[in-house]
Amino acid sequence: MDTSIWRPIIYLVCFMAFAGLNAAYLGWCERKGAGRIQRRTGPMEVGFHGLLQPLADGLKLMTKQLLVPEGVDQILFRIAPILAMIPALTSMVVIPFSDNIQGRAVELSVLMLFALASIGMIAILIGGWASANKYAVISAARAVSQNLAYEIPMLLTVITIVMITGSMNLQDIAMDQQGGFWHWNIFRFDKSIFMPVSFLIFFICSVAETNRAPFDMAEAESELIAGFMTEYGSMGFGLFMMGEYLNIVVGACLTTILFLGGWSCPFGLFPGVWWFLIKIYILIFTFIWVRWTYPRTQVYKLLNLSWKILIPFSMVNLLVTAAFIKVF
Amino acid sequence: MSAYWNDVFGGAKSLAIGLSITAREFFKPVITMQYPWEVPEIPERYRGHIELVKNEKTGKPKCICCGMCMRSCPSGCISLVGKKPEGEKKKVLTKYELDFTKCSLCGSCIESCNFGAIRFSKDYNLASTRKEDYVFDLLKRLEEQG
């Protein structure tokens, strides 16, 4: 591997730019998507079709005062937004965008990604708890119970993928699915007949893990104001939002690599980073689509879905995969 | 057990139906109006504040200063003054003021007018931070409209 100092610097700059652009413009895409689905136009005033809106929003957030209310935990209150952003940004390092575009080829990259995802949850817990606000505390408690419940089926599904590939390296998992859509994990009926189901489970869990509607119990505005973000203004709030959108990007990348063949083309033509980007943006659009289709669930229904449906289904799938691998 | 499977499959089906509905809405045309850039067409019977009607031949207001509108107004919004110039038989309107802060757009003034000299305008762009802005000088408004 090339060990010159330029490689990490170039990757760092590129990933930061990619992350920043995504965090800013996914907000715009979300507003446009919401508008279209509700038959409005979405932002139109700032720039061509509102394209400069994220810039204007960013400037507005940056020029506001970073207010730290009285009675909050001084240190934790300041740490939480940063902690929400950093794991999402760090996750970018191990994601293989293509066979030769990867920040760092880590052998246990799947494990690392899920460890980082849990830190994002801790950021919500810290932010909510440090705010000294009843809504924030309730929201933090909800977020933790939700994330715990949904991490189990998610990890069970990942275990099936790891068993199929025999590796925890994202690069290996993606390489294993090259050469046409019938090689993708989602359609590998020779490994388990339930692979599409486990793709659905993984997708539902990634929606829940990123605290997106219909699972946005942590920031249910109708009853919890803005949940853990209630006391945050200015860029503190901005960082939480950017972290949320980056988590969506990471979730879409992970789904693409684990189930949709990473950078491989469905027909075996021109494999490359563009296919990867097309796939993640289709998935991100689905995230937006889902958000503006379903109303928010209730807490107990949310937990019921995980414990009564997703976990048993993913366990059955795990057993079936193990049996298939053993028999065939 | 069958209730469980009904729940799972019924739920999945209803989720899919929901997604298909929003997907169809996504491609339908926008139905909102881009207000400052697109101006709505005001319906025939829209009631804005009242305005004076011009006599097309002379270019002067049709009003003969009988004061019926002033008397019929339940809130006393209207005040008008008419003067008889030297050597003329009829009065000429010199001032017609509408206090729109009190007007409830009931239309009694328009009904009471026998000469069709006032009507509802189609003016809806009314916004101000000062109360005085809503005391309209309708004679001046008519002259400004040309």
The CA distance from B94 to B113, in Å, is: 18
Task: Tell me the chain A residues in contact with residue B21 when contact means C-beta distances shorter than 8 Å.
Answer: 293
Give the ranges where chain A is alpha helix by DSSP (H): 6-37, 53-63, 74-91, 109-130, 134-165, 170-175, 195-209, 221-224, 234-259, 273-291, 299-304, 311-327
Task: Tell me the chain A residues in contact with residue B15 when contact means C-beta distances shorter than 8 Å.
Answer: 294
Is B7 within a domain? no
- Determine the distance in angstroms separating the CA of B4 from the nearest CA of chain A, rounded to an integer: 9
Task: Tell me the chain B residues in contact with residue A293 when contact means C-beta distances shorter than 8 Å.
Answer: 18-19, 21-22
The answer, for A309 touching chain B at a CB cutoff of 8 Å, is: yes
Q: Which residues contact A286 (CB under 8 A, 6 or more apart)?
A: A203
Is B17 within a domain? no
Q: Residue B135: beta bridge partners?
A: B99
- Determine the distance in angstroms separating the CA of A170 from the nearest CA of chain B, rounded to an integer: 30
Q: Residue B62: beta bridge partners?
A: none
Contact in structure between A273 and A101 (CB atoms under 8 Å): yes
Across the interface, whether the CB atoms of A293 and B21 are under 8 A apart is answered: yes
Task: Tell me the chain A residues in contact with residue B19 when contact means C-beta distances shorter than 8 Å.
Answer: 289-290, 293
Structure tokens at B57: 């031949």
Contact in structure between A315 and A322 (CB atoms under 8 Å): no
Is B32 within a domain? no
Task: Tell me the chain B residues in contact with residue A309 when contact means C-beta distances shorter than 8 Å.
Answer: 8
The H or E element spanning position B94 is strand B92-99
Across the interface, whether the CB atoms of A44 and B19 are under 8 A apart is answered: no
Task: Tell me the chain A residues in contact with residue B9 when contact means C-beta distances shorter than 8 Å.
Answer: none
Structure tokens at B145: 């409209």
Closest Cα in chain A to B21: A293
Cα A247 to Cα A5, A90, A117, A155, A205, distances in angstroms: 28, 11, 8, 17, 13
Closest Cα in chain B to A41: B30
Total tally of structural domains belonging to chain B: 1
Is B134 within a domain? yes
The answer, for A118 touching chain B at a CB cutoff of 8 Å, is: no
> CA nearest A323: which of A195, A192, A198, A194?
A192
> CA nearest A126: which of A144, A111, A110, A114?
A144
Is B25 within a domain? no
- Domain hosting B115: range is 50-145
- Determine the distance in angstroms separating the CA of B30 from the nearest CA of chain A, rounded to an integer: 5
Q: Residue B54: beta bridge partners?
A: B61
Q: Which residues contact A27 (CB under 8 A, 6 or more apart)?
A: A54, A57, A241, A245
Q: Which CATH number covers residue B117?
A: 3.30.70.3270
- Determine the distance in angstroms separating the CA of A257 from the nearest CA of chain B, rounded to an integer: 24
> Dihedral of CA A217/A223/A227/A232: which sign?
positive
Q: Which residues of B touch A (CB under 8 A)?
A: 4, 8, 15, 18-19, 21-23, 25-26, 28-32, 34
First to last CA, chain A: 37
What pLDDT was estimated at residue A324?
Answer: 86
Q: Which residues contact B10 (CB under 8 A, 6 or more apart)?
A: none
Which of B19, B23, B28 lies closest to A39 in CB terms? B28
The angle at the Cα of A267, spanning A25 to B19, to the nearest 5 degrees, equals 50
Average pLDDT score over residue span B48-77? 86
The answer, for A225 touching chain B at a CB cutoff of 8 Å, is: no
SS3 A205: helix
- For chain B, percent of residues with pLDDT exceeding 70: 99
- Determine the distance in angstroms separating the CA of A290 from the nearest CA of chain B, rounded to an integer: 7
Contact in structure between A144 and A305 (CB atoms under 8 Å): no
Structure tokens at A176: 């294993």
Q: Best mutation site among B4, B6, B9, B22 for testing chain A: the one with the most A CBs within 10 Å?
A: B22
Checking DSSP bridges between strand B92-99 and strand B135-137, what pairing results, if any? antiparallel
> CA nearest B75: which of B53, B51, B49?
B49
pLDDT at B17 over 90: yes
Is B45 within a domain? no
Compute chain A's Rg from CA coordinates.
20
First to last CA, chain B: 81
Is B61 within a domain? yes
The CA distance from A229 to A81, in Å, is: 9
* pLDDT tens, per residue, chain A with 328 residues: 556 888 888 888 888 888 888 888 888 999 898 898 998 888 888 888 888 888 898 899 889 888 888 888 888 888 888 888 888 888 888 888 887 777 777 888 888 888 888 888 888 888 888 888 888 888 888 888 888 888 889 999 999 888 888 888 888 888 888 877 777 878 777 777 788 888 999 999 988 888 887 888 777 777 788 778 888 888 888 888 888 888 889 889 889 888 888 887 777 677 778 888 888 899 999 999 998 898 888 888 888 888 888 899 999 989 988 888 888 7
Across the interface, whether the CB atoms of A39 and B31 are under 8 A apart is answered: yes
- pTM for the complete prediction? 0.80
The answer, for A13 touching chain B at a CB cutoff of 8 Å, is: no
Contact in structure between A63 and A116 (CB atoms under 8 Å): no
DSSP string, A235-268: HHHHHHHHHHHHHHHHHHHHHHHHHS-TT--TTS
pLDDT at B112 over 80: yes
Closest Cα in chain A to B14: A294
Task: Tell me the chain B residues in contact with residue A310 when contact means C-beta distances shorter than 8 Å.
Answer: none
The answer, for A37 touching chain B at a CB cutoff of 8 Å, is: yes
